Amino acid sequence: MTHMVSLIGCGFVADLYMRSLQAMDGIEVMGVYDRDSARLSAFCAHWNVPSQPDLASLLDAHPRDGLILNLTNPEAHFEVNRTCLEAGFHVYSEKPLATDLDDAKALHALAEEKSLMLASAPCSVLGEAAQTLGHALRHDVAGTPRLIYAELDDGFVPQAAYSKWMSESGAPWPYEDEFRVGCTLEHAGYYLSWLISWFGSVQSVTAASAETIPDKTGQGPMAPDFATATLFFKNGPVARLTCSIVAPHDHSIRIIGDRGVLGCDAAWDNGAKVHFAKRVTLRRRLMELPFKRRIRIPGTTHPKVKRWGAAAMNFMLGPAEILEAIKTGRSSRLSNDHALHMTEVTLAMQNAGQTGGAQLMTTTAERMEPMPWAL
Ligand SMILES: NC(=O)c1ccc[n+]([C@@H]2O[C@H](COP(=O)([O-])OP(=O)(O)OC[C@H]3O[C@@H](n4cnc5c(N)ncnc54)[C@H](O)[C@@H]3O)[C@@H](O)[C@H]2O)c1
């Protein structure tokens, strides 16, 4: 059986979805729409997929049991998500669901009222590295987890040659939009989704954020380029998450447990190695062993996609999960609650500023079922 997806927005990231789609079986593109007609033509010609002249035509042609991928810029997410839900369609939205918490809550309520699925990227939480860490946590490899350090530092991006970054079908990297939206709204979800999948709800967030490099493009203040948060899980350890486009590149996660440290050095690589450093006492000195043990899930996991630019991720794992949930009538791992909760925590980090202080979260999410191959 073939599953149908339609794409709204076909800029830089849409090419990564198409590259990923080629690794998946049984998913076809029903239609594509972008408000930029030149971009729409270039994309549809490159990938040989059907274009639609406007949003209404795309929705008219889209099947009820299909999935709409909202790949527009963040400030368009709310309107596009709302229009699709109101028309009665399941939606997979690029992050964030909306740039305002009340808007995100309204979308969640609308989806619930209409019994629709509303999921949010990123979907690397369904990938091998995240699932291997989840497997190690469930199997108690490192003992009780006490503290987690998760880094999403991208290097000093304002000095990078970003004006030359181009997607496969010719979309420029949208640097103004990226700087205006900010690296926290863009990236915090990469580790928040993993943490929420393992531990469930964040009860409170103590965060701070700042724009440390003012006037990056000569257009005045932009979003914070640095944010850090201490996350207090309702039933789990404490985690510190940092996002920046300033500090040297570091996408590592370290889970510090009673018996040692579980870790992974890459957030944007589904096949990144997961390792465990056992804690020992050698000649009265306490240390984590420098020779780390590789942790693997036995058997086959999921189709992998070769590295393109900064990412080696299968962007279609999320849509495939939702489509299978629709087909079989089960609930989706990327639940509506997961999407909303991740959005709330992300916005708490982004909006904290210098005086954000402690914030109690108003939404919740359950731990995520592991993938069947990761039990
Ligand atoms: N750039 C990346 O590397 C990357 C990676 C992962 C996720 N994302 C996410 O993907 C989303 C899109 O980012 P991008 O880099 O592709 O941006 P982009 O600017 O390259 O592309 C967005 C496209 O959406 C179109 N669009 C905007 N509003 C629209 C509307 N109302 N109706 C129809 N089309 C509309 C634009 O014309 C543009 O072609 C963002 O949420 C971003 O966070 C980006």
pLDDT of 116 above 90: yes
Q: Is 174 in the pocket of ligand 1 (CB under 6 A)?
A: yes
Q: Is 58 in the pocket of ligand 1 (CB under 6 A)?
A: no
Cα 306 to ligand 1 centre (Å) = 21
Q: What are phi and psi of 91, to 5 degrees?
A: -130, 135
Q: What is the pLDDT of residue 260?
A: 98
The mean pLDDT of 349-358, rounded to a whole number, is 94
Q: Of 49-53, 251-255, 317-321, 356-360, which range is least confident?
A: 356-360
Q: What is the pLDDT of residue 280?
A: 97
**DSSP letters for 112-156:** HHTT--EEES--GGGSHHHHHHHHHHHTTTTSSEEEEEEEEE---
Q: Is 195 in the pocket of ligand 1 (CB under 6 A)?
A: no
Q: Is 112 in the pocket of ligand 1 (CB under 6 A)?
A: no
The CATH classification of domain 124-300+333-374, taken from the options 3.30.1360.70, 3.30.360.10, 3.40.190.10, 2.60.40.10: 3.30.360.10
Q: Is 39 in the pocket of ligand 1 (CB under 6 A)?
A: yes
**pLDDT tens digits, 7-53:** 999 999 999 999 999 999 999 999 999 999 999 999 999 999 999 99
Q: What is the pLDDT of residue 217?
A: 87
Q: For residues 174 and 353, what is the distance between their CA atoms, to the nearest angstrom?
A: 24
Q: Where in the chain is the domain with CATH 3.40.50.720?
A: 3-120
Q: For residues 223 and 199, what is the distance between their CA atoms, to the nearest angstrom?
A: 29
Cα 11 to ligand 1 centre (Å) = 5
Q: For residues 155 and 146, what is the distance between their CA atoms, to the nearest angstrom?
A: 28
The CATH classification of domain 3-120, taken from the options 3.40.50.970, 3.20.20.10, 3.40.50.2300, 3.40.50.720: 3.40.50.720
> Which of 7, 10, 12 is the best mutation target for the ligand 1 pocket, counting ligand atoms within 8 Å of the beta carbon and taking the most?
12
pLDDT of 263 above 90: yes
Question: Phi/psi zone of residue 67: left (φ > 0), alpha (ψ -120 to 50 degrees), beta?
Answer: beta
Cβ atoms < 10 Å from Cβ of 245: 27
Q: Is 176 in the pocket of ligand 1 (CB under 6 A)?
A: no
> Which of 70, 71, 168, 268 is the best mutation target for the ligand 1 pocket, counting ligand atoms within 8 Å of the beta carbon and taking the most?
71
Q: What is the pLDDT of residue 218?
A: 86
Q: What is the pLDDT of residue 134?
A: 98
Cα 288 to ligand 1 centre (Å) = 43
Q: Which residue has the tokens 């609930």?
A: 331
**Using 50, 70 and 90 to split pLDDT, how confident is the model at 222?**
very high
**Using 50, 70 and 90 to split pLDDT, how confident is the model at 132?**
very high
pLDDT of 91 above 80: yes
Q: What is the dihedral of CA 97, 208, 274, 324, to 10 degrees?
A: -10
Instruction: Tell which atom from ligand 1 comes closest to the C-alpha of 79.
Output: 31
pLDDT of 1 above 80: no
Q: What is the pLDDT of residue 182?
A: 97
The mean pLDDT of 285-297, rounded to a whole number, is 96
Cα 80 to ligand 1 centre (Å) = 12
Q: For residues 373 and 349, what is the distance between their CA atoms, to the nearest angstrom?
A: 33
Cβ distance 88 to 67 under 8 Å? Answer: no
**pLDDT tens digits, 172-206:** 999 999 999 999 999 999 999 999 999 999 999 99
Cα 108 to ligand 1 centre (Å) = 21
**This prediction's pTM:** 0.98
Instruction: Tell which atom from ligand 1 comes closest to the C-alpha of 13.
Output: 16
Q: Is 272 in the pocket of ligand 1 (CB under 6 A)?
A: no
**pLDDT tens digits, 136-180:** 999 999 999 999 999 999 999 999 999 999 999 999 999 999 999
Q: For residues 92 and 114, what is the distance between their CA atoms, to the nearest angstrom?
A: 15
Residue nearest to atom 5 of ligand 1 (CA): 13
Cα 131 to ligand 1 centre (Å) = 27
Q: Where in the chain is the domain with CATH 3.30.360.10?
A: 124-300+333-374
pLDDT of 219 above 90: no
Token pair for residue 210?
A: 């700042």
Cβ distance 23 to 314 under 8 Å? Answer: yes
Mean pLDDT, the chain, rounded, equals 97
Token pair for residue 271?
A: 């096949």
Q: Using alpha carbons only, what angle is made at residue 272 by residues 14 and 342, rounded to the nearest 5 degrees?
A: 55
Report the share of the chain in percent with pLDDT over 90: 97
**pLDDT tens digits, 329-343:** 999 999 999 999 999
Q: For residues 362 and 358, what is the distance between their CA atoms, to the nearest angstrom?
A: 13
Q: What are phi and psi of 279, to 5 degrees?
A: -95, 130
Instruction: Tell which atom from ligand 1 comes closest to the C-alpha of 310.
Output: 3
Q: What is the pLDDT of residue 10?
A: 98
- Residues 6+ away with beta carbon under 8 Å from 328: none
Q: Is 188 in the pocket of ligand 1 (CB under 6 A)?
A: no
Q: Is-cis flag, bond preceding 174, omega within 30?
A: no
**DSSP letters for 214-243:** --TTSS---S-SEEEEEEEETTS-EEEEEE
Burial 34-43 (b: 16+ CB within 10 A, else e): beeeebbebb
